[in-house]
Amino acid sequence: MSGVEEVRLSLGHIELAAHLFGPVDGHPVIALHGWLDNANSFARLAPKLEGLRIVALDLAGHGFSEHRPPGAGYALWDYVHDVLRVAEQMGWERFSLLGHSLGAIVSVVLAGALPERVTRLALIDGVIPPGGEPKDAAERMGMALQAQLALADKRKSVFPTLDLAVQARMKGMVAVSREAAELLAQRGLMPVPGGFSWRSDSRLTLPSPLRLSEEQAMTFVRRIACPAHLIVAADGMLARHTALLEQLPFSQEQLPGGHHLHLNDEAGATLVADCFNRFFAIP
């Protein structure tokens, strides 16, 4: 990728890898990818965005970033804390967020918790975390604790060839194009005895011990004070949640494509870029 710089950010409690795009004096943006993806999620989109200084992170436990220490987990608010540390490292008091899926959820939580820090919110097919019913809290906690204990005995899948690992990613919980899977594999795969394995932390697949209710999650949405624009993928995860979409005080646009429309092909990345270039250009 031309015009992209690989960096490592030491945040004190963890070291994260990131890609830097755009002019040094551009509008500051932190880009956050989805669950089990990495910074290459923005490999097609970021070079098409104009006038922005983008730090596309590998979130903790993903890509080339460090895993959290033994005994720690991957709660939503820990990602939010990481992003604030990244802003500190970059010397950014105020900044925008560009988030896809899990990254969009982290962005909404941060912009709602500390509205004075965030200047714009650009979201792709993600808004609030999946809700939990308050009455199910104890049962969910028990299930999560059991899964945590069982994880110690599990071994990661090993794929004999790079191609088989890419094919597995193409057919993952959210299907992606071959080109998207290959881009994610560049930062996501590592050689191991017998072939290749995904380098993401196995703890990322554990169920959340605690889920916010939809009512709690919407308090973050309502506290957001900056302009926010949401792209809904026509064949993605949000399109069928019409009741939620109608409640959102954000400008919205539906574009053709699946959940990874910004990464699956150049046409999708161009549509998303055109949309966000207009959004960031509004004074």
- Residues identified as active-site: 101
Task: Name the nearest CA neighbour of 200 among 218, 187, 219, 214.
Answer: 187
C-beta neighbour count of 283 within 10 angstroms? 2
Q: Sort strands 228-235 and 251-258 into parallel, antiparallel or unpaired.
A: parallel
Q: Which residues contact 145 (CB under 8 A, 6 or more apart)?
A: 209
Q: Where are the alpha helices (DSSP H) in 119-194?
A: 137-151, 162-170, 178-188
Contact in structure between 120 and 280 (CB atoms under 8 Å): yes
Q: How far, in Å, CA of 4 to CA of 253, rounded?
A: 28
